[in-house]
Structure 1
Amino acid sequence: MTNPQTQSLLLIAGGGTGGHLYSGLAVAEDWCARGGEVLFVGTNYGLEKNLVPHYGYKLETVPVSKLKGSSVVVRLKTLVLLPLALVKSLWIMARYRPTAVLGIGGYASGPMVVAGWICRVPTAIVDQNAIPGLTNRWLGKIAKKVFLAFDVAGSYFKKEKVRITGNPVLRSRLPAMLGHDESGRDNPRIVPTEYPEITLLVCGGSQGAHALNESVMQAFGLISKKFPGLKIIHQAGPTDEALVRKTYAEMKINAEVCAFIHDLENYYAKANLVIARSGAGTLTDLSNWGLASILVPYPFAADDHQRANARIFVDAGAALLLEQKNSTPEKLAEMIASLLKDTTRLESMGQAARLLSRPDAAKLVVDQLLSPFEKGGHRGI
């Protein structure tokens, strides 16, 4: 079966961060393109609260929060709310009767995938990182299929459940959909070149990153005179946006500063080098667009998964790694300058990133969701 029209509703549970949510939106896009419908289930405080309606999907919420890495009070509150979250999830299952349940990571995916399993509906999960999240590691025990972005994450799950699909990405964020060639660079006949020759893109994730912002600004101050044609595009986050814009203005650096960039694909097309955290969504984009990068992993990410993500790109020759504890302005400036002076190295790093790309990940996930699930008491699709 390759078309969901007769049993159309896919329930996608989870979110919280852009890395989780955008992969779910990409799967939803492919599922709906085949005639199906999608319902998202998340929380009332994560990114899904605004992004899911923005993309035209219905959102239900469940009362759940995090257990790992939170205070004792928050963990106790979460434990108290878990039964209520499961009851709400079972109510959602009864009301909407989905064809399948797909967990994409994040707190809401836990009770919702469990509810799907209880209701004997086929369940699956997507994990976008080199080290799977705690919720997904638990859910992998009951899910029928586990879709992974990286091979190394397969060791956390039973081999027969694992499918290496890559991280699903929205079609609008792929180079081919925007009139770019396979290298990800501009086709000047379709997209006009409007930026200077050297463009650096700084991405601190969907919420920005204060420590990264501080280090990057000072580093650019050290090298700006050596590269007079330098253009900075900086996603600073809502908290630091005003400070970052003011600092660049005082240093007379040509910079475009945004709290959050919704159309990052238009900036990837212009960038020569990217400085970023190493969340799953960012790395997916870097590989699809074939971009060299300096990665500064968020040191407090669960299980240090950003460092593990970055290591895959570094080992492939696609990126340089800079630990936040070592991220002095001087060190970062040295790394940036060395790459900007060596265009051959920049190009080879971009090509290495491109080899990690899996632009058809969303299609592969939906193909698997539409194929019969393994027998074991749960009905197939």
Structure 2
Amino acid sequence: MADELELLRRANPVPSADPRFGDRPLDQHAERRLDLLLHDGERRLDRLPRGGERRPSPRHLRRWTWGLGSVAAACVVVLTLMFSGSATAPAVAAPRPLVVEAGSAPVPLDRIADRAAAAGDSLRLVQGTHLQAWSLAMTSGPGARPPVTLPEERLVRWQADGSHTELVVATDPRRPGKPVVTDADPVPRTVEDGHVLSRRTYPPSWSDAPPVARPPHDAVRLRAYLDEIDRTGPLDTPGLLDAVAGLLDNWTLGTRENAALVRILADAQGLRPAGAVTDRLGRAGQAYVYDDRAHSVRRMLVLDPDTGAVLGLEETVTRDDPEFGVKSGDVLSYRAWMR
């Protein structure tokens, strides 16, 4: 039995944990094919020997019944692929929005900035980043695929000569070892956990423009630096959060830069403290929320309460959008930065 199970596992192109084929009714084509298989099985049982003739042992019957179920499951897989088309996006559970801990006391950004400033130079500025990201891939119009969440990890390291490397891997720490959905190809597909999506080396760059240029560690100059990253006009709160993400996608900030950044965030209009939260990598943080009503998005910034380091930035839909198949509460993207 063990050998047969192993052979079937190798022959089955769909992982057992693949969410596309679990907990849902069969479509009409799969039901018809399964009905044919079951009736064919009854005819085979009717032809078994009668009376004193030898009958199959219970062990053989169990094996045959189990084999019929495996064939039916395989037919469901094949029929699903045939009638849905190879372009159908693999389904994947979208991450739920982060939830602020009930009863937790919100911490003002000024207090976080004071804590970061008191830490001195315990953390140093490093060029490069280590990022875990989730993003929602969406299409619209006739034949649009359902939204799928694409998780990946990105590691950027700079060398002394000004060159840098970028490694992008398909992985999801919420589901270690499980298949990961990627859109590295034109059509989203599943790959093994840890699959390398890209590995690139870039030649030396001597740019003195943000975000490649070294960020300053005082609030006034850092705000001008962020304004140059955004370049869309006056640096409002949505633009500021976008510029912060652009900065952190290139640099891992030190203690002084964190303190300056939190001072800037403390002056951002509409960015309010919400309370304690545990981020997607299991780290304790303080949440700060901005309701972007113009784009129907809620943005949540998660900071380390002791160092002021930005741990994550989440964007959540606040209004249903049938055209793209998203509903209020769906997570559009989440970035988690690490040292």
- CA radius of gyration, larger in: 2
Relative to the length of structure 1, the TM-score reads: 0.20
Higher normalized strand content (fraction of residues): 2
Higher normalized helix content (fraction of residues): 1
Relative to the length of structure 2, the TM-score reads: 0.22
